[in-house]
Amino acid sequence: MANLMRRYFMLALAALCGAGLAGGSTPAAQAASGDIKVGVIGPMTGANAPYGNFAWRGASLAAEQINAAGGLLGHKIELVRGDSQCTPVEGVLSLQRMISNDQVQFVLGDICSSATVAYSPIVENAKVLLLNAASSDPTITLKAGAGGYQWTFRNYPTDEQRAGIVLEYAAEQNHIQKVAVLSVDNDYGRGAIALSKRFFQRYGITAVSEDYFQISTTEFLPILSKIKSSGAQAILMYGYAASSRLGARQMIEAGLTGKIVLIGNADFIQPDVIKAAPNVLEGAIEVAAWSPDFDNARSKAFVAAYMAAYNKEVPPVHAYTHWECQRRRQNASACRSKNASGTNARKPPRGLSGVLDGWNTPRGVVLPRRCDGWWPLAGKVSPCQTLAVGRSPEGRSGRGRRLPAARRRWRRPAGCPAMRPAKRHTAPAMPSVRRRRHASAGPGRDDRPCYANE
């Protein structure tokens, strides 16, 4: 693997999964008629099919492991596969079939943000819990929670979060001031660049060129030739593995190796992308929710099980997020079943309340804390990361104002395990980057607005 300089935005993924699994229809009620059905929806066909199939494999592996251990509350999990083709129209049709024909009560998906945005009103009306396991559009979060879609949750970082972190790191650590935008021409690519532009002035960054390409594009040399003479220090790229492989190879042909660094989120960390052009990927900066080489026992166990199940295929992030959420759903549903009754079984979920007793995630042990309905994460994480900042959402209780202690209390519902007090850790402002050992800690501070259900 190339000697990469990487920055991982490692969210406490299991805790965020739990936000979407603390309530809803109880598995005990659903299991009365047989297996517990969980929908997995994503692009199973079309240009983005590889990502949808990764997600399916991750969720399937989790279901097999849960069933092998006795199932959920004594009942087997049955996955229902849905194909969105990465479009809202096909996705909504597939989701409606899952709900009406297959009677699913939990849905994991989608890879594509535009489809996930379209799902929220559908699941809200049907009172089916939707856990966004891979979509990065911040709109999903902004429309959820109190006063919005209460049956929609996320476990994946937003493009706004990723854009801010990667640009801060590139500017402060690599002293990058000029970037050339080269991004995929779809909602994801254009949306991520639009959000990135919000941080340009803050970090003193200027875009010297701006180009977009189709998913099917195979020729990047004309654009790369223009970038070569533009004075850009980095290429800001949002896209997918296939485009990154081709683009990296053609950067060698354009004579850009070692002269321009790749930054953004375009599967730079995937082994096959690195193998295509290791010298070009040297120094690449990517913000990712998870990486298969993360040095954590739980993560390593997942990678080993996945590779054993799928012919030594190295799992990408979308396989992991769907696996992790399926596993956490087991714990959350079991805990919720102790408190649920026929009167509250169809009420909207209420975040993390009573779901966890110190979840062991690849970021360490994370404990939940309610924060006036906002920013529910707190607790013991790795010494290099502090997740709980107690900040209010912009425009709600003041810009970045710290919430009073009385509004940050978390109360354990009856019937769920007691919580251990959380020990807070203070991290350095920016973790050092080490070659051949990847900086995996999140930022020591967190200036992001506090979103509902995150």
**pLDDT tens by residue, the chain, 454 residues:** 444 433 333 332 333 344 444 444 444 455 455 788 999 999 999 989 999 999 999 999 999 999 999 888 888 999 999 999 999 999 999 999 999 999 998 999 899 999 999 999 999 999 999 988 899 999 888 888 777 898 988 878 899 989 999 999 999 999 999 999 999 999 999 999 999 999 999 999 999 999 999 999 999 999 999 999 999 999 999 999 999 999 999 999 999 999 999 999 999 988 889 999 999 999 999 988 888 888 888 889 999 999 999 999 999 999 999 998 887 665 555 444 444 444 444 565 554 444 444 455 655 555 443 333 333 333 332 222 222 222 223 333 333 333 333 333 334 334 434 433 333 333 333 333 332 223 333 333 333 333 333 3
Backbone angles phi, psi at 158, to 5 degrees: -85, 160
pTM above 0.85, yes or no: no
In the chain, domain spans: 13-157+297-349, 160-286
Angle between helices 241-253 and 221-228 (to 10 degrees): 60
Quote the distance between the C-alpha of residue 323 and its chain's center. 12
The pLDDT value given to residue 359: 53
13-157+297-349 has which CATH code? 3.40.50.2300
CA-nearest of 304, 5, 279 to 169 is: 5
Q: How far is CA 17 from CA 219, 324, 328, 406, 408, in A?
A: 39, 8, 7, 26, 20
C-alpha span between 160 and 390 (Å, rounded): 19
C-alpha span between 378 and 368 (Å, rounded): 5
Is it true that the peptide bond before 447 is cis, omega within 30 degrees of 0? no
In words, the CATH class of domain 160-286 is alpha beta
Q: Do domains 13-157+297-349 and 160-286 have the same CATH topology?
A: yes
C-alpha span between 452 and 144 (Å, rounded): 6
